[in-house]
């Protein structure tokens, strides 16, 4: 269940994922896998592993009580192992001595978090697939839809909406690749015992670790990473980059949806985008939520990175700060992905309004084209001065750039009337826009080794 205070910061699936029951079960899954692995290797009795596995159910424990005791102990692993031991003892006194055998409290907490992140990756993948498909459809459908380019928020030579959508998609794909790679690096078991040497298990430590990793379907690192948070940091940083990419898309959509522009609109319905007092409003809510996430996540990334210099074999303070930071970053990123997928799936594009907005500039957005045409004949300085004067007159007199240029004798001597007529034809000043669009879509960024393809 999403709490009211988190209603603009997470989705229902991610709120459930980071719920007390989910986190508790993930930590208990570690304890059960530890017991099963040790039983297979003859370290603890099989009956003990069975009893521990049977007791390791989140419904058997009081999460609120564990939270209170975690605040006293500085780690959830301590109260959890005590509570699990008591639960096992009630069913099998002999088995209770083998609970948490050879592990340490941070092993429980870190691996529990990693198991939750593994589930988050699957949630991300579903919404990223939706977003990818929607942006691909938009790019293909509107590949010939011409619109104003906008630089520094000012009208500029035309582009196509298909190219714009392809740019969004390519950035999302690059970011997804980085995120997947970070998950590959980061979804690993934490198992080191008290000082990270697994000394309590003698020479069986690595065997037990490999067996636990296999039980939980996690990677097995070369050594425990209690005070080395770089791989987990990679996941958080990748979330920051992806959320920034989605924020750029949201910014573009929200600007195109402004009433004065009205070239695009987010889908409406089911209370989406309305106003409490202005019935005419159609607010870009998916973009607003995504931009909120893009504002929030960089601070969480910074918070994680600032806690990375951790002391010796086990840190004090840095590690304890991470749960809330990572949870916030993951949930905000997931919300941004889901929001942009929703927006893209039914984004409305007004191609006619896009053409009208080009025409409304009076052709001044083609000043570059006129300048390039004249520079070859008159020289750069003379051409720049001539076209600049024509553009200023066009805006001041409410006439088109072509009309003003056509009256200039300097231009009549070097430019044909046909070239002048073609000056304001958007289709004839798109450069290689379509080729670029196709290149963006063709390269889905599977980390090709060819230089310059990223």
Q: What is the DSSP string of 146-177?
A: EEEEEETTEEEEEEEHHHHHHHHHHHHHHHHH
| Selection from 93, 158, 135, 182 nearest residue 366 by Cα | 158
C-alpha span between 242 and 332 (Å, rounded): 11
C-alpha span between 322 and 226 (Å, rounded): 12
Backbone angles phi, psi at 158, to 5 degrees: -70, 155
**pLDDT at residue 279, rounded to an integer:** 45
- Helix segments in 269-400, DSSP class H: 285-306, 322-345, 351-359, 367-378, 380-397
Q: If DSSP codes are grouped into helix, strand and coil, which group holds residue 349?
A: strand
314 is catalytic: yes
Catalytic residue among 7, 68, 97, 275: 275
Report whether 129 contacts 173 (CB < 8 A).
no
Domains located in the chain, CATH noted: 1-103+198-217 (1.10.275.10), 107-188+225-355 (1.20.200.10), 361-415 (1.10.40.30)
287 is catalytic: no
| Selection from 360, 288, 299, 359 nearest residue 324 by Cα | 299
Catalytic residue among 40, 137, 272, 314: 314
Q: If DSSP codes are grouped into helix, strand and coil, which group holds residue 446?
A: coil
C-alpha span between 389 and 405 (Å, rounded): 9
| pLDDT by position in tens, the chain (length 454) | 899 999 999 999 999 999 999 999 999 999 999 999 999 999 999 999 999 999 999 999 999 999 999 999 999 999 999 999 999 999 999 999 999 999 999 999 999 999 999 999 999 999 999 999 999 999 999 999 999 999 999 999 999 999 999 999 999 999 999 999 999 999 999 999 999 999 999 999 999 999 999 999 999 999 999 999 999 999 999 999 999 999 999 999 999 999 999 999 999 766 555 444 444 557 899 999 999 999 999 999 999 999 999 999 999 999 999 999 999 999 999 999 999 999 999 999 999 999 999 999 999 999 999 898 888 888 899 889 999 999 999 999 999 999 998 888 877 778 877 888 888 899 999 999 999 999 999 976 544 444 444 4
Residue recorded with tokens 């992806």: 242
């Amino acid at each position: 269940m999403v709490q009211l205070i988190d209603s603009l910061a997470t989705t229902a699936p991610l709120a459930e994922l980071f719920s007390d029951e989910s986190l508790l079960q993930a930590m208990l899954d570690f304890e059960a896998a530890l017991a099963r692995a040790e039983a297979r290797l003859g370290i603890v009795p099989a009956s003990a592993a069975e009893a521990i596995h049977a007791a390791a159910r989140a419904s058997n424990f009081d999460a609120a009580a564990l939270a209170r005791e975690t605040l006293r102990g500085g780690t959830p692993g301590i109260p959890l192992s005590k509570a699990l031991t008591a639960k096992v003892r009630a069913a099998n006194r002999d088995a209770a001595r083998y609970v948490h055998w050879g592990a340490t409290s941070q092993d429980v907490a870190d691996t529990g978090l990693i198991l939750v992140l593994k589930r988050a990756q699957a949630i991300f993948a579903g919404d990223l697939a939706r977003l990818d498909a929607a942006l691909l459809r938009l790019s293909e459908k509107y590949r010939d839809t011409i619109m104003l380019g906008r630089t520094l928020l000012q009208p500029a030579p035309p582009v196509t909406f298909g190219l714009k959508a392809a740019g969004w998609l390519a950035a999302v794909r690059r970011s997804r690749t980085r995120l997947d790679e970070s998950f590959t690096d980061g979804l690993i078991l934490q198992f080191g015992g008290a000082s990270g040497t697994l000394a309590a298990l003698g020479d069986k430590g690595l065997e037990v670790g490999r067996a636990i990793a296999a039980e939980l379907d996690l990677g097995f690192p070369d050594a425990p990473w209690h005070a080395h948070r770089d791989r987990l940091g990679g996941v958080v940083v990748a979330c920051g980059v992806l959320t920034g990419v989605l924020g750029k898309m949201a910014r573009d959509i929200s600007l195109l949806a402004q009433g004065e522009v009205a070239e695009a609109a987010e889908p409406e319905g089911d209370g989406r985008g309305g106003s409490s007092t202005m019935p005419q409003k159609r607010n870009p809510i998916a973009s607003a939520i995504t931009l909120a996430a893009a504002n929030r996540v960089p601070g969480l990334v910074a918070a994680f990175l600032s806690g990375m210099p951790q002391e010796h074999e086990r840190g004090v303070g840095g590690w304890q700060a991470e749960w809330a930071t990572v949870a916030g970053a993951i949930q905000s990123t997931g919300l941004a992905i889901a929001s942009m997928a929703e927006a893209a799936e039914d984004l409305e594009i007004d191609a006619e309004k896009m053409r009208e907005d080009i025409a409304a500039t009076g052709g001044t957005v083609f000043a570059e084209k006129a300048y390039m045409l004249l520079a070859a004949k008159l020289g750069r300085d003379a051409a720049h001065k001539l076209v600049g004067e024509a553009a200023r007159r066009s805006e001041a007199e409410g006439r088109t750039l072509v009309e003003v240029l056509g009256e200039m004798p300097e231009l009549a001597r070097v430019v044909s009337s046909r070239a002048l007529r073609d000056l304001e034809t958007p289709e004839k000043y798109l450069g290689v826009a379509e080729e670029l669009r196709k290149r963006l879509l063709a390269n889905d960024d599977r980390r090709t080794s060819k230089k310059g393809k990223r």
